[in-house]
């Protein structure tokens, strides 16, 4: 197909009342959804500039370059944005696992009837990586 | 692998201050991310019960069963939830396209340098489907 181009103006990204947009990270090769987190304008600019993913941590109230603690960084291969300019889709090369519970993806459980079913294996030992007591 | 089960209690889902969680819809067959929208508890319960996706429209302030206007419904094949219980991942059979601009996925543009590059083809005529003036 013929690609069409328009100017990208980050000022037009529709950050919400808290200054955030949702960011979905998926695996560069398989497309598997790994995690969903948040970005403010600074996090998006930093991610675009550096090519490794930085989110905004809502719980800590600070920029959060994924993998600084765990080594499980996300190298960006592509950034897409949705029709409404209020959500980004990151294709990433994920080192280790995206999930702080030790799984490749945060979505390691399906909802089935009245149950949560864990149907994925851990890919790293979260207790040692995050040095929990 | 051995699956493990725990009880799913919708009261433990961590809806935000506005009563919402993010919901990512991906293609049941390919895993392609189609769209990101929002659910309140009622939308999630309805989706779990009926097997077709209902979101909460933040702009209209009402339940939004995807496809009621366009016919482009999303039949659920699986619902997953993330580690923090604040985001769901829907695998869906998408009729037509998810995007109101006529594309299969809302993420039809990549950000590249200072440009937005449309690198997907429309799959339906949004002007006629949504009967815009």
| Model confidence pLDDT, tens digit, residues B25-72 | 999 999 999 999 999 999 999 999 999 999 999 999 999 999 998 899
| Model confidence pLDDT, tens digit, residues B108-127 | 999 998 999 999 999 999 99
Task: Say yes or no to pLDDT of B132 above 70.
Answer: no
Q: Which percentage of chain B shows pLDDT scores above 70?
A: 98
Contacts of B92 (CB under 8 A, 6+ apart): B25, B26, B27, B28, B34, B53, B74, B75, B76, B77
Among B1, B82, B111, beta carbon nearest to A121: B1
Q: What is the pLDDT of residue A130?
A: 81
Alpha-carbon torsion, ordered B120, B124, B125, B127, to 10 deg: -90
Spatial separation of the C-alpha atoms in residues A10 and A84, rounded to whole Å? 13
Check A22 against B22: CB less than 8 A apart.
Answer: yes
Q: Is the CB of A101 inside 8 Å of chain B's CB atoms?
A: yes
B49-68 residues touching A, CB cutoff 8 A? none
B93–chain A nearest CA distance, Å:
16
Spatial separation of the C-alpha atoms in residues A36 and A65, rounded to whole Å? 14
Task: Say yes or no to pLDDT of A16 above 80.
Answer: yes
| Model confidence pLDDT, tens digit, residues B70-85 | 899 999 999 999 999 9
* Chain B residues with CB-CB distance to A101 below 8 A: 83
Spatial separation of the C-alpha atoms in residues B107 and B29, rounded to whole Å? 17
Beta strands, E only, chain B: 4-7, 21-27, 33-39, 54-57, 62-65, 74-81, 87-94, 109-112, 115-118
| Model confidence pLDDT, tens digit, residues A37-88 | 999 999 999 999 999 999 999 999 999 999 998 899 999 999 999 999 999 9
Beta pairing, strands A87-94 & A21-27: parallel
A106–chain B nearest CA distance, Å:
5
pLDDT averaged over every residue in chain A: 96
Residue B128's φ and ψ, nearest 5 degrees, are -80, -35
Task: Tell me how crowded residue B119 is: count the other CB atoms within 10 A of its CB.
Answer: 15
B124–chain A nearest CA distance, Å:
15
For residue B133, name the pLDDT band (cuts at 50, 70, 90).
low
Token duo for residue B127: 């002007």
From residue B123, give the alpha-carbon distance in Å to each of B65, B97, B100, B106: 21, 6, 11, 12
Mean pLDDT of A13-37: 97
Q: What is the pLDDT of residue A69?
A: 85
* Chain A residues with CB-CB distance to B113 below 8 A: 8
Alpha-carbon torsion, ordered A70, A58, B111, B90, to 10 deg: 90
Alpha helices in A17-97 (DSSP H): 41-50
Q: Is the CB of A13 inside 8 Å of chain B's CB atoms?
A: no
Q: What is the pLDDT of residue B58?
A: 93
């Amino acid at each position: 197909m013929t690609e069409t181009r328009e100017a990208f103006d980050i000022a037009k990204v529709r950050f919400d009342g808290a200054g955030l947009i949702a960011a979905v990270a998926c695996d560069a090769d398989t497309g598997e959804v790994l995690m969903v987190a948040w970005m403010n304008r600074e996090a998006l600019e930093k991610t675009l500039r550096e090519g490794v993913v930085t989110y905004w941590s809502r719980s800590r109230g600070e920029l959060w370059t994924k993998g600084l603690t765990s080594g499980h960084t996300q190298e960006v291969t592509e950034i897409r944005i949705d029709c409404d300019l209020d959500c980004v889709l990151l294709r990433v090369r994920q080192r280790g696992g995206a999930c702080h519970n030790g799984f490749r993806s945060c979505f390691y459980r399906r909802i089935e009837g009245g149950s949560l079913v864990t149907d994925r294996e851990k890919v790293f030992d979260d207790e040692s990586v995050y040095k929990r007591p």
